[in-house]
Structure 1
Amino acid sequence: MRIIDETGARTTTTPAGTMSALAGPSRGSHELSTWRVRMEPGSASPEHVVDRDQVWMPVSGRFRVSVDGEDSGMAPGQAAVIPAGAVRQVRTGDGPGEALVCMVPGGRASVAEREGSVPLPWAE
């Protein structure tokens, strides 16, 4: 067993939120990556595609999730399963949101207005 602490060295901040890496291949988990996402009030990810299924589990706050044009709300005690290849966007409302996210390692993301795809460093 391995206990993993969040550290600044494994935290990435983007305009949409802050991702803190937890379990992943670089920390001994070869089949699952997990991370904590913190988003400020009124934040939104860009519309993007990830080539792996993801499961989002809110631990505080509320989120709006749009997947291939279908919009739903989620809150603590719920989970959103977002399929690989789906166009997605995650937003917060008037308050901050925090969620745990998991997926199979090695995922890459692409954004419509940018060419190519990029790895998710918090999932490695």
Structure 2
Amino acid sequence: MRIVRSTESRRSETPAGVMTTLASPGLGGAAAPVWKVEAVAEAPGPVHHIDAEQVWTVLTGTVTATVEGDSAELAAGDTLVVPADAARQFTAGPDGFTALVIGPAGQQAYMPGKEDQRITPPWTA
């Protein structure tokens, strides 16, 4: 049994919000990273790709998720499965949103047209 105490979680800040790592290969030795996203009200995240499937569950607030050009508004309790390599963008609603996200270890992010410049998001490592 491995326990990750709340005092051990890692926070990563971006202009659109804060990602808090709850478990990952480097935090608790989890095979599948789990992190919380707390997005700033009405802030659009960047259009980007992840080379692995992710599952997003909205805990509070609302978010407009655009995946491969299709948009949907999600609210607390809604879950979105985002396919690998799909172009995605998340835009927080008027009160922001909080979501719990899970994806496989080793996932890498890249920007449109920059497939050769992949990074491992720090909140998944």
SS, match of residue 73 in structure 1: strand
C-alpha RMSD of the superposition? 1.7
Structure 1 residue 112, shift from structure 2 partner: 2.4
Q: Which amino acid aligns with 2:53?
A: D
Asked if 1:106 is matched to 2:98, the reply is no
More off after superposition, 76-85 vs 6-15: 6-15
Residue of structure 1 in register with 2:119 after alignment: 118
Residue of structure 1 in register with 2:56 after alignment: 56
Distance 1:41 1:8, change over 3 A: farther
Distance 1:59 1:43, change over 3 A: same
More off after superposition, 64-73 vs 105-114: 105-114
Q: Identify unmatched segments of 5+ residues in structure 1.
A: none
Distance 1:120 1:6, change over 3 A: farther
Q: 1:19 & 1:6 partners in 2: Cα distance?
A: 14
SS, match of residue 62 in structure 1: strand
The superposition leaves residues 50-79 of structure 1 with CA deviations (integer Å, 9 ceiling, x where unpaired) of 001000111100111000000011111110
Residue of structure 1 in register with 2:35 after alignment: 35
SS, match of residue 26 in structure 2: helix
Q: 1:12 & 1:53 partners in 2: Cα distance?
A: 21
Distance 1:31 1:8, change over 3 A: closer
Q: 2:55 & 2:111 partners in 1: Cα distance?
A: 19
Q: Which amino acid aligns with 1:57?
A: T
Q: 2:57 & 2:9 partners in 1: Cα distance?
A: 23
Residue of structure 2 in register with 1:17 after alignment: 17
Structure 1 residue ranges, 4+ long, deviating more than 6 angstroms after superposition: none
Q: Identify unmatched segments of 5+ residues in structure 2.
A: none
Q: 1:48 & 1:98 partners in 2: Cα distance?
A: 19
Asked if structure 1 preserves the Cα contact closer than 8 Å seen for 2:9 and 2:22, the reply is: no
Q: Which amino acid aligns with 2:46?
A: P
